[in-house]
Chains A and B, each alone.
Chain A
Amino acid sequence: MTEIIKEWFDRLYADTGLNFSVFRDAFDAQRFLEGVLTTLEMSAICLALSLAIGVLGAAVQGVRFRPLAWLVDAYIQFFRNTPSVIQLYFFFFGLGPLFTSTNEFGQAVPLVSSYTWAVICFSIYAGAFNVEIFRSGIEAISPATVDAAQALGYTRLGTYVHVVLPLALRISFPALSNNMVNLVKLTSVAYAIAVPDILYASSQIWSDSLNVAEIMNVVLFSYVLIVSVFVWGAGLLERRLRVPGMGV
């Protein structure tokens, strides 16, 4: 299979001079594939983490101790109204040097890799949006439902976990999936700190082989493909989760 593809693109190169080296050269192909895997892996981890942050943050916003809720608010407002690339630089260049250990030569060695910082930063960024989304989902649940749950004997925590959360998830799903799609697109910003994702791997390929136009199109196409698959999957999930009679 790969042989056929390679031959086709070799012929294309011979005929037109369009060098899609990603399909022709084994080394380039491997770099690109690793980039794709890195992007997918980053997306998956950030998705999960940001969801967890969202659920936790929304829960904290409902506690009786108001200063804690205000703290969550401050976190949300700060991360929503500042650029994610500067946040990334802040984490990697600003906080990075604080987490070092010394190796046998006495030099400082970073404990946290650029990949990890990227994951942390993007999860926190997307998490801020998720808290807002969950909060409005929770607020859309009528107090009568909560009262009914508590009348049945659920504790506050039990109500949150078994009644409020599942409902809030379904109500806020469209906004949530939109945010998740944005998160997948956001992972490309990790290029700024040299994380080997699709964009970074491709930039290395095109600076080696000088085929910017072709590779750039491959990058665009790959991202659009990945994101489209996510959008389609989210649509499927939304249809399965839909509660008849609720929402639009």
Chain B
Amino acid sequence: MTRESPSPRRPAPRPSAGWARGAFLAMALLALLALWHAGASAARPAPAGAPSIAAILWDWTPAILKGFAANVGISLASALFATVLGTFVGIGQLSLHRPVRWLCWLFTHLFRNAPWLVLLFYCMLLLPFQVRVGAWVVPIPDWVKAVAGISIAAAANMSEIVRGAIQSIPTGQWESAASLAFSRTQALWMIVLPQCVKRMLPPWMNLYALIMVSTPLCAIVGVSEIMTVAADILAANARHDLLMPVYLYLLVLFFLYCYPIAVLTRRLERKFAIAG
């Protein structure tokens, strides 16, 4: 909905300049820092001579970053498989063959209505830990099963994104392609899907952020990533005032990774909305 200048009684629209966002981002981090300090001092005091919390976190940072790299790796692998699988399932939801359509619909709705953690458990516990291929026995590591679980869940989301994008292309495009004797497949891949890419980009980036934010769930099913490193830190130090700072550290790390993605997504959304 378009509107003229905002009425004087309504406050001006929030500034979209990066500065304002940076300002409240800084405020947010400051507030968290204050919270951390409060927590550290309110909890039982550290034994005398023990290293400071900051020192401990600093020492463990390389390990934490390595754990985070594992999360990033899992998210990228899952995003790749989810995108490919989801695209085909999404296209399949609009197929002219009823069994294909029905199968893809089933896949999408079954895996969209299941919690991601449940799907992770499912893949973790029910996929074999090794596979016999001919003469070889191929072990399937845990992280592969975790990637499979997340990929399936995300593919269902991707399928809906693709289906929505295809259905948002005006029927006139299909008609004119048909009247130029393009086959349905040609029309889909050469004319409709290229136009879909742009409008799928913001929801796709949202999906990636969702995938990234779901990777710590893998620790619950036994994959080593950043949460297992955090558990190691806490076990090694056995200090109660370390709990909050450690988890805060992890939260800030994820925030620093995901927030720029969110900002970029919003910028892309606005750009595509104007360009049309």
Contact = CB atoms under 8 A, between A and B. Distances in A.
Interface of A: 61-64, 66, 69-71, 73-75, 77-78, 80-87, 89-90, 93-95, 97-98, 140, 142-143, 146-147, 150, 156, 181, 185-189, 191-192, 199, 212-213, 216, 219-220, 223-224, 227-228, 231
Contact of B7 (A81, A95, A147): A147
A147 B23 CA distance: 32
Interface string B8-31: 011100100000110111011001
Contacts of B261: 81
Interface in B202-216: 209, 213-216
B220 to A, nearest CB: 6
Given A90-B248, A143-B10, A216 B122 contact: yes
A190 B81 CA distance: 27
Interface in B225-276: 227, 240, 243-244, 247-248, 250-251, 254-255, 258-259, 261-262
Nearest to B117: A188
Interface in B112-126: 113-119, 121-122, 125-126
Contacts of B137: none
Contact of A140 (B1, B31, B243): B1
Contacts of A63: 11
A219 B114 CA distance: 10
Contacts of B110: 224
A194 B128 CA distance: 26
Contacts of B217: 83, 85, 189
Contacts of A83: 213-217, 251, 254
Interface of B: 1, 3-4, 6-7, 9-11, 14, 20-21, 23-25, 27-28, 31-32, 39, 42-43, 109-110, 113-119, 121-122, 125-126, 209, 213-217, 220, 227, 240, 243-244, 247-248, 250-251, 254-255, 258-259, 261-262
B244 to A, nearest CB: 3
Given A70-B23, A95-B39, A223-B118, A81 B262 contact: yes
B3 A142 contact: yes
B175 to A, nearest CB: 22
B54 to A, nearest CB: 16
Contacts of A146: 7, 9-10
B262 A80 contact: yes
Contact of B113 (A69, A93, A140, A231): A231
Nearest to A87: B251
Nearest to B258: A81
Contacts of A87: 251
9 closest Cβ pairs, A-B complex: A94-B244, A74-B28, A81-B258, A185-B115, A188-B115, A70-B24, A227-B113, A90-B247, A74-B24
B216 A85 contact: yes
B116 A185 contact: yes
B220 A192 contact: yes
Nearest to B245: A94
A97 B113 contact: no
- Which of B6, B24, B42, B248 counts the most chain A CB atoms within 10 A? B24
A16 to B, nearest CB: 17
B216 A74 contact: no
Nearest to B1: A140
Given A77-B25, A94-B39, A228-B113, A188 B251 contact: no
Contact of B255 (A78, A143, A223): A78
B225 to A, nearest CB: 11
A192 to B, nearest CB: 6
B203 to A, nearest CB: 12
A77 B28 contact: yes
Contacts of A70: 20, 23-24, 27
A192 B215 CA distance: 14
B9 A199 contact: no
B126 to A, nearest CB: 6
Nearest to B6: A143
Given A70-B20, A86-B227, A97 B43 contact: yes
A69 B14 CA distance: 9
B20 A94 contact: no
A94 B216 contact: no
Contact of A216 (B11, B115, B125, B255): B125
Contact of B247 (A73, A86, A140): A86
